[in-house]
Amino acid sequence: MPEASCQKQFIMTTRKILITGGAGFIGSHVVRLFVNNYPNYEIYNLDKLTYAGNLKNLTDIENAPNYHFVRLDLVDATAVNNLFNEHQFDSVIHLAAESHVDRSITNPMDFVMTNVVGTVNLLNAAKEIWKGNMEGKLFYHVSTDEVYGSLHDGGFFLESTSYDPQSPYSASKAASDHFVRAYHNTYKIPVVLTNCSNNYGPNQFPEKLVPLFINNIRNNKPLPVYGKGENVRDWLYVVDHARAIDVVYHKGKIGETYNIGGFNEWTNIDLIKVICKTMDKILGRHEGESEKLITYVTDRAGHDLRYAIDANKIMKELGWEPSLQFEEGIEKTINWYMDNQQWMDEVTSGDYAKYYDKMYASR
Ligand code: NAD
Ligand code: TDX
């Protein structure tokens, strides 16, 4: 890989940025931050609007003059090329993905198509319009800590940790990371990558642990804990991830990877007990009432034991650090879901209700 070089400061100039997956959980927070903080940047949000994409996540900025939405499937190479030709983007922040591990176990090919083929389609389109002039261009690939595999004997994931993906989801993300680095090495596309730990916060689709359990507690439904609940995840508030993406976009070094995490490890069962306790307070229930909903169910196949990010590189080199303590973040998150029950009810009706019955009936 060529020697890392300092990226240009984009802040005062006009930029045309394609953000993919901007209608999803993390993407919507990234789009909001860029639209609000950089009025001189033109932000294009590309999203297929799968079950996980929801334009209601962005109603507060949808009429901003520097915001544009494009509905497009990244798997459609011709459509991706046409879009690049039309708009001549100078940078890409790529978040669109199939993102749920359980779905990757039942439908791995969806993950190959969007996460691998979709990423290569984007890289090809960028390569074509940037060829001959890579100056000021940037392909920012957003990835996950899951590519490093599962920690069993202590320690942390470093940027230099070997890849060892264990699920179809993490294998597809690992493949996409490899393609991004290969395009940098082979075609000199200016790239930067980040690998982040588990996010929590507003607007997360309720197939994921935190919003699923908040919603089930509200509705007095069982809380399906996989295995013994001993798996460990490292949780980061979603807005802090978006802030990190802002910092890496502007100050990251070309060709580099930065790990992002909150140094905030929880076993699933301890995290679930915090959510139960906070919900008891908010709902006016007796302490311990929500915990009675905990139900141990069949474990996830190939369930990774522990993820833990060493985020020292981004902290020391780029000056980023999380802004929220976990206790504050989780209370804020629970309050958001309680205040936005219509959002929750809309996304959990229809097809999702069928998915839920199928996914949990067999456990
Ligand atoms: P999400 O599932 O909430 O959103 C994904 C978005 O991508 C949706 O809006 C969906 O409509 C869109 N999309 C899916 N397939 C597409 C396609 N073929 N073409 C265009 N758009 C498509 O995901 P998220 O949790 O916000 O994750 C965003 C990114 O961050 C992913 O790349 C994920 O791997 C990564 N990541 C997530 C976490 C986490 O905890 N959620 C942690 C680290 C990294
Ligand atoms: O019903 C459940 N019961 C349960 O015990 C669900 C949905 C999950 N779990 C467990 C599995 C995990 O150990 O909770 C933990 C968190 O599960 P998820 O929310 O599905 O997240 P995880 O599998 O850790 O992956 C997430 O973090 C990294 C995101 O979904 C990925 O997109 C991201 O890359």
Domain with residue 14: its CATH number is: 3.40.50.720
Question: How far is C-alpha 114 from the geometric centre of its chain's CA atoms?
Answer: 14
Ligand nearest to the CA of 93: 1
Q: Contact at 8 Å (CB) between 196 and 309?
A: yes
* Element containing residue 346 per DSSP (H, E): helix 341-348
- 34 in a domain, yes or no? yes
Q: Which of 46, 56, 99 to mutate to test the pocket of ligand 1 (most atoms within 8 A of CB)?
A: 99
Q: Which stretches of 166-237 are assigned E, i.e. beta strand?
A: 191-196, 198-200, 223-226, 232-237
> At residue 7, does pLDDT exceed 70?
no
Retrieve residue 193's tokens.
């990558």
Q: How many domains does the chain contain in total?
A: 1
Q: Amino acid identity, residue 1?
A: M
Active site includes 357?
no
SS3 state of residue 334: helix
pLDDT category at 3 given cuts 50, 70, 90 is: very low
- pLDDT of 36: 98
Give the C-alpha distances (Å, rounded to integers) separating 278 from 42, 216, 246.
40, 14, 31
For 163, which DSSP code? P
Query: 211 CB under 6 A from ligand 2?
Result: no
Ligand 2 in contact with 142 (CB < 6 A)?
Answer: no
Q: Is the pLDDT of residue 9 over 60?
A: no
Distances (CA, A) of 260 to 14, 246, 285: 27, 12, 36
Q: Is residue 224's pLDDT more than 60?
A: yes
Spatial neighbors of 345 by CB under 8 A, at least 6 apart, are none
Mean pLDDT, residues 50-75 taken together: 97
What confidence score (pLDDT) does residue 13 get?
74
For 72, 117, 164, the CA distances from 108, given in Å and listed in that order, are: 21, 13, 17
Pick the ligand that lies closest to the CA of residue 167. 2
Does the pLDDT value for residue 324 go beyond 60? yes
**Spatial contact of 261 and 309, defined as CB atoms under 8 Å apart:** yes
Q: Residue 231 above 60 pLDDT? A: yes
pLDDT reported for residue 12: 52
The yes-or-no verdict on residue 186 having pLDDT over 90 is yes
How many Cα atoms are found within 13 Å in the side-chain-facing hemisphere of 131?
A: 10
Residue 220: both structure tokens together? 């007095």
- Let me know if residue 362 belongs to a domain: no
The pLDDT assigned to 360 comes to 87
Say if residue 158's pLDDT is above 50: yes
Cα dist. 60→46, 64, 346 in Å?
18, 9, 18
CA 356 – CA 221 distance, rounded (Å) = 12
121 lies in some domain: yes
Domain, as residue range, for 254:
3-204+236-264+302-324
**Any catalytic annotation for residue 307?**
no
Q: Is residue 356 predicted with pLDDT exceeding 90?
A: no
How far apart CA 318 and CA 296 sit, in angstroms, is 42
Cα–Cα distance, 41 to 13 (Å, whole number): 8
Give CA angle at 116 (203, 210), nearest 5°.
Answer: 25
Q: How far is CA 201 from the centre of its chain?
A: 11
pLDDT of residue 21: 98
On whether the pTM is more than 0.85, the answer is: yes
Q: Give the residue-averaged pLDDT of 191-215.
A: 98
Ligand 2 pocket: which of 99, 146, 233 to mutate (most atoms within 8 A of CB): 233
Q: Residue 333: inside a domain, yes or no? A: no
The minimum-distance atom of ligand 1 relative to the CA of 169 is 34
Give me the chain's average pLDDT, please.
95
245 lies in some domain: yes
Strands 223-226 and 191-196: unpaired
Per-residue pLDDT reduced to its tens digit, 45-57: 999 999 999 999 9
Could you give the angle at which helices 351-361 and 341-348 cross, rounded to 10 degrees? 70
**Confidence at residue 4, expressed as pLDDT on a 0 to 100 scale:** 43
Residue 51: inside a domain, yes or no? yes
Question: Which residues does ligand 1 sit against, CB inside 6 Å?
Answer: 21, 23-27, 47-50, 52-53, 73-75, 95-99, 114, 118, 142, 144, 173, 196, 198-199, 205
Q: Is residue 179 part of a domain?
A: yes
Query: Is 191 part of any domain?
Result: yes
